Structures are given as C-alpha cells and as structure tokens.
Amino acid sequence: MRSFNAIILLAVVVVLGVSSVFVVREDRTAILLQFGRIVSAGHEPGLHFKLPFIQQALTFDRRLLTLDAAAERYLTSEKKDVNVDFVVKWKIVDSSKFYTAVAGDETRAQQRIAPIVKDGMRTAINSRTLQEVVSSARSDLTLSLVQQANRAAQNLGVEIIDVRIKRVDLPEESSVLRSVYERMRSERKQVADSLRAEGNEAAERIRADADRQVQVIKADAYREAQKGRGEGDAKAAEVYAGAYGTDAEFYAFYRSLEAYRESFQRTSNGVLVLDPKSEFLRYLQDSK
C-alpha cells in the first residue's frame, strides 16, 4: 500500500514538474498568460518556469516571415494602369502587442499588413510616371514604402523589413503588349495546328485499322454462319428424307399443313382465290 501511494505521489510530482516549465526554441519568442491576461512577454530561448495549470505559455516565430501579395492594379501620375506584384518581408518584434492586436495569428497579421502596404504602394505609384515605376525609381519607391508602412503597422507589434516589387506589367492598351500577345497567340496556334494534324492522322490510321478488323470479323462470322446454316440444312434434308422414306403419305400431309399455315398467315388481311379442285386443297376436301 505504501509503494502504491509512493507511485501516485511520484506521478503527481512529475505532472506538476512538467506543467511548471516550458521551453522556448532558438527561433521563437514567448509570452506568459494567466487567465487570458499577459503576465510577461519577450521570453528568450531556453527553459522557463510558470505556475502549473494556471499560467499558459504561447510562442511566436521571430524569424523573417513572407507575405506574397496578389497582383494589384494601380494608376500612375500619367493616368496609366499598371499591375504590380510585390512581396513583403516582416517579423514579430513585440510579442505582447502582436498577441493583443491579432491574438497571435500570423494569417490575421498578414491580412492587416496587406492593405497597409497596398495603400502605401498606391500613393507611391500615383506620384510617379510609368517609366519611373519600372526603372530607376523602384528602389526609392520601396524604401519610402517601408518607412510609411512601419508607421502604420507599429500597433501590430511587427516590423516590415522590406518590400520588393516582383513584377510590373505593362498596361493592357499598350501596343507593345498587344504585339507580344499576338505573336504568342500565333506561335501557340501553329503548335496547336501541328498537334491537331498529327492527332487527325493518328485518328484516321486507327479508324482504318478498326474498319479493317471489323470487315475481317464480319467475314469470319458470315463464313461460320453459312457453314452452320449449311450443316443445318443438310441435317434437315436428311431428316425430311428419312421421314419421306418411312411414310410418304404422312410426309405429304405434313408438308401440306405447313403450306396451309404459311399461306393463311400471309393472307390474313387479304383474299386467297383458289380452284376448289386444286391439288393444294386436297387434304381440306377429302378428310378420309
């Protein structure tokens, strides 16, 4: 009994010990919550202690994070449309503010950062010409954009490290863009026509081979059918000959009955005119 109590006590001590510590990895930072309120923040990597079952540790990634935004259309100072595709590098610098602002959710943080950067991008592009946007002014544009975005995002507990423009598309009404599209369309059409011709040739070859096989199969089936029909006719003739040789009168009577049936079926909706003294009606007239 004492050993059992000792085991229970040891298990309780182990559970309390495990619940009293938490580990922060090298690439993360942590905050400590007590009943939903932040008790401490900014825990460095290593082993830390907390009150078991009362306090809760949450860790956040402190490495550089990436926001890859979808392409957006902006208007230059010349009133020309450009599609700009950019990427944002950011990181968590204040875990307490980060938890308070977005509940520690990186996805929600990116949803808050994206419109801030897009608004700054719109303002920066609106004050520049198309040539400045796609050439030498790009570095100046992103530098001012980072500074402006950090001022707007400081209450999120994050820092925007860099904004890089990946691609700037020419306006849709550009003659250069139209010519590029036309050339690409022409090249793709040539490839498509070539593939379509090869496909039609292969289809005709397969269809011809299938038709040949169908004719061969039909010929074989017709030959087998004719062979079977001939064998059947020969067997029937043999049976008829045997029946005629056994009783000629009965055979003639049976054949007459078959002729009556065939004739009456064919003339069910018409009139059959015969001579009463015809040999065809012999068994109908003379029942004896």
Would you list the domain boundaries of the chain?
2-61, 65-173, 248-285
How confident is the model over 87-135, as pLDDT tens digits?
999 998 988 888 888 988 889 999 999 999 999 888 888 888 877 777 7
Regions of the chain where pLDDT drops below 70 = 1-20, 136-138, 170-180, 243-245, 247-252, 257, 260, 263-288
Alpha helices in the chain (DSSP H): 2-19, 95-102, 106-126, 130-134, 138-152, 175-246, 248-266, 282-285
Exposure string of 262-282, with b = 16+ CB inside 10 Å and e = fewer, is: eeeeeeeeeeeeeeeeeeeee
pLDDT at res. 99 = 87
Pick the closest to residue 72 from 34, 118, 109, 28 (CA basis). 118
Radius of gyration of the chain (CA): 48
Q: Which two tokens stand for residue 132?
A: 């400045």
How many Å apart are CA 179 and CA 121, to the nearest integer?
29
Bridge partner residues of 77 (DSSP): none
Exposure string of 57-88, with b = 16+ CB inside 10 Å and e = fewer, is: bbbbebeebebebeebebebeeeeebebebeb
- Average pLDDT of the chain to the nearest whole number: 78
pLDDT at res. 91 = 92
- For 45, 57, 131, 242, the CA distances from 180, given in Å and listed in that order, are 54, 56, 19, 91
| Exposure of 158 in the CB half-sphere (CA atoms within 13 A) | 35
pLDDT at res. 38 = 80
Where does 65-173 sit in CATH, by number? 3.30.479.30
